[in-house]
Amino acid sequence: MASDEQSPRSEPFDAQTRMAAHRTFLAYIRTGLGTMSFGFVIARFNIFLWKTEHGTGLPPSTPWLPLWLGITLAVFGVAINIVATVHHFQLMRCADRGEPYQPERWSPDLVVGAGMVLLGLAIVVDLFLAR
């Protein structure tokens, strides 16, 4: 290999890499929208159930937990979209400057994964309390 040639790894942002970054960004946006939608459904369905139980004279079972869980999921979905957007713009700024990508210590993957695990555990707790 000649000394003036660059290896394929030294050009980190070719067209294929840019398109992969855009696909990843759109996947995060879909995840955020899905999380917000799921939170909305949980919160609204809980209100429906509470009104139904309240109309029958029965005491509602943990009316606050599903409502707050739904609100938390919706807010987490918004946070996913914000983090994804900031991360994508930082990545594209590096690409425009020709700098290599340096992954952050707390990647959006880790934040979204950990948040989904915690919210999933909260849903399981709610299901056990609602029996």
Give dist(CA 40, CA 11) in Å, integer: 43
Residue 63's pLDDT is: 65
Residue 10's pLDDT is: 47
CA distances for 92 relative to 31, 34, 78, 99, angstroms: 20, 25, 21, 10
CB 112 within 8 A of CB 82: no
Give dist(CA 106, CA 113) in Å, integer: 11
User: What number of residues does the chain have?
Assistant: 131
Domain boundaries, the chain: 14-129
pLDDT along the chain (131 residues), means of 10: 46 76 90 90 75 61 74 90 89 82 75 84 77 57
Residues near 44 by Cβ (< 8 Å), separated by ≥ 6? 70
CA distances for 49 relative to 73, 119, 127, angstroms: 19, 21, 14
CB 62 within 8 A of CB 126: yes
